[in-house]
Amino acid sequence: MKITEKIKKPITKELKIFEKQFYSSVSSKVKLLDLILIYILNRKGKQIRPILVLLFAKMFSKGALNEKSYRAANLVELIHTASLIHDDIVDDSNIRRNFLTINALWKNKISVLVGDFFLSKALLLSTENKDYDLLNEVSTAVKEISEGELFQIQKSKNFNLSEEDYILLISKKTASLFSCCCKLGSISSGNKDLNEIEAFGNYLGIIFQIKDDLFDFTTKRIGKPTKSDLKSQKITLPLIFSIKQSTYQDKKAIKAILKKKKYTMADKKLVNEFIIKYKGFEYSRNKMLEYKNGAIKILKKFPDNESKESIKILLDYIIDRKY
Ligand code: FPP
Ligand code: MG
């Protein structure tokens, strides 16, 4: 059995119900918008966030999942979709999930509004069902995500970014939504004891983003552009660590490359060699394993069942995934 199938096993039926609800909830009478919505819905992602909601809901539920758990899964997928549409505008990115982005096809003006549409659908889904507890968590996550994105812009071009600031940045821009998924699933099953759940989601999200940042250095095809962090002068963990370790001469040389407006193939090769020399990739991988151990420790406190086993497998998948 594939690792993704193992993860989904306790929620196979529930995931199908979620998908049906999600696909039927997003449509519009405005033809232009409806066309774009169909384009988006036909290019589904890994669905890690709704899977996380459903697994946490199931881990804490006594029996079958309730409607609120499905709404929670929908809510995070709507927010996640909105954030990716806006992110591709911010990053001026042309490819996602192996296809052209909304901004590449319909330009920025339309893309901003489509992102807003997804955001409004999320707000309506919670207010129409009086899910104010879910809305509170989601609003906090969106605030964190936006602050994280702005913090990232503030820190770009800073080649001395500290590891501490990097972790804070990815906690905000990525891990906040992962935490939110775990909390939403738990709340929907009646569990209000959220501190450890939030900490678990934070670890999971940090691991996810470290892995995502490692992908930026790969030469393999991952369904979206690579080297985009380098181009926009965003410094991530492999470089942060390597720069810190490097000699004065190497530091000077690498910063001269990083400051360039345009990178050649030779420059990219030099950056990779620099990171290999100072073991930045190894360090990043070990950091993911450290966070995984932290996450496993928390997971031990949760009820033992099939969903918890899947969450454990999900941790490995996030570290070992190929895209
Ligand atoms: C991916 O980061 C993007 C995010 C983690 C969040 C982006 C959020 C915004 C632009 C704010 C708008 C938010 C809402 C909810 C409307 P990345 O660029 O490092 O990853 P990538 O390689 O997948 O693009
Ligand atoms: Mg991006």
Residue 265 has pLDDT above 90, yes or no: no
Angle at 103 between CA 101 and CA 104, to 5 degrees: 65
| Structure confidence by residue, pLDDT tens digits, 163-189 | 999 999 999 999 999 999 999 999 999
CATH number at residue 305: 1.10.600.10
Angle at 41 between CA 315 and CA 46, to 5 degrees: 10
Residue 228 has pLDDT above 90, yes or no: no
Question: What pLDDT, on the 0 to 100 scale, is given for residue 262?
Answer: 86
3-state helix, strand, coil in the chain (%, to 5): 75, 0, 25
Indicate the pTM of the whole model: 0.96
| Structure confidence by residue, pLDDT tens digits, 140-151 | 999 999 999 999
Print the domain residue range for 315.
3-320
DSSP single-letter state for residue 99:
E
Residue 221 has pLDDT above 90, yes or no: no
Q: What is the mean pLDDT of residues 223-241?
A: 92
Secondary structure of residue 40 in the 3-state scheme: helix
Domain count, the chain: 1
Q: What percent of the chain has pLDDT over 90?
A: 93
Secondary structure of residue 321 in the 3-state scheme: coil
Q: What is the position in ligand 1's atom list of the atom closest to the CA of 85?
A: 10
* Burial class, 15, CB count within 10 angstroms (exposed 0-12 / middle 13-18 / buried 19+): middle
Q: Whose CA is nearest to atom 20 of ligand 1?
A: 212
Alpha carbon of 228 to ligand 2 centroid (Å): 8
Which among 126, 45, 118, 24 is positioned nearest to 78, based on CA atoms?
118
Q: What is the mean pLDDT of residues 96-115?
A: 97
Which among 73, 310, 81, 316 is positioned nearest to 183, based on CA atoms?
73
Neighbours of ion ligand 2 (CB under 5 A): 87, 91
d(CA 255, CA 304): 49
| Structure confidence by residue, pLDDT tens digits, 280-294 | 999 999 999 999 999
Question: What pLDDT, on the 0 to 100 scale, is given for residue 222?
Answer: 87
Q: What is the mean pLDDT of residues 82-86?
A: 98
